[in-house]
Amino acid sequence: MKRTILLIEDNEQNLCLATFLLEQNGFKVIPARSGPEGIELAGRIQPALIILDIQLPQMDGYAVARELRQNPTLKDVPIVAVTSYVMVGDRERALEAGCNGYIEKPINPDTFISQIEKYLKAQPAGEESES
Ligand code: MN
């Protein structure tokens, strides 16, 4: 069974690149182009991992992460923040909001998948059965 990644990203180019890389590596990608859409989808599809852009219209990624963590069925799902912000404080803010980690934009195609895999492997055993 393919592992499903929920990709919350409003920028079409970033969405395309990340989707391409993930699909090439055997993931199934469900896109969401806004925070509210992502929150709604996350509850329904129970993704293996959520990739969350921080710079989103109407509701930023920090608010989205906090909302996702309110849902008990999503509490163990890794959330990886993606942002072009370079300030150290933003990393802390993302972690405080409930994200497990942080990837800097622009996405590096050579390391993106290994960065994502790292957060999937951090999950408790049995969560990502390949059968
Ligand atoms: Mn954005």
d(CA 64, CA 74): 12
**What is the average pLDDT value for the chain, to the nearest integer?**
90
Residue 129's pLDDT is 46
Domain boundaries, the chain: 4-121
31 C-alpha to center of ligand 1: Å? 13
Q: What's the pTM?
A: 0.90
d(CA 54, CA 38): 12
For the chain, percent of residues with pLDDT exceeding 70? 90
Ion ligand 1 residues within 5 Å by Cβ: 10-11, 53, 55
Beta strands in 1-131 (DSSP E): 4-8, 28-32, 49-53, 79-83, 101-104
130 C-alpha to center of ligand 1: Å? 32
104 C-alpha to center of ligand 1: Å? 12
What is the tens place of the pLDDT at every residue in 39-54? 999 999 999 999 999 9
Is residue 131's pLDDT more than 70?
A: no
d(CA 9, CA 1): 24
Residue 90: pLDDT band by 50, 70, 90 thresholds? confident
Residue 74's pLDDT is 95
9 C-alpha to center of ligand 1: Å? 6
14 C-alpha to center of ligand 1: Å? 8
Looking only at the bridges linking them, the beta strands covering 49-53 and 28-32 are unpaired
- Torsion, CA 61, CA 64, CA 70, CA 73, rounded to 10: -100
Phi and psi, residue 51, nearest 5°: -105, 125
Report whether CATH 3.40.50.2300 matches the domain 4-121: yes
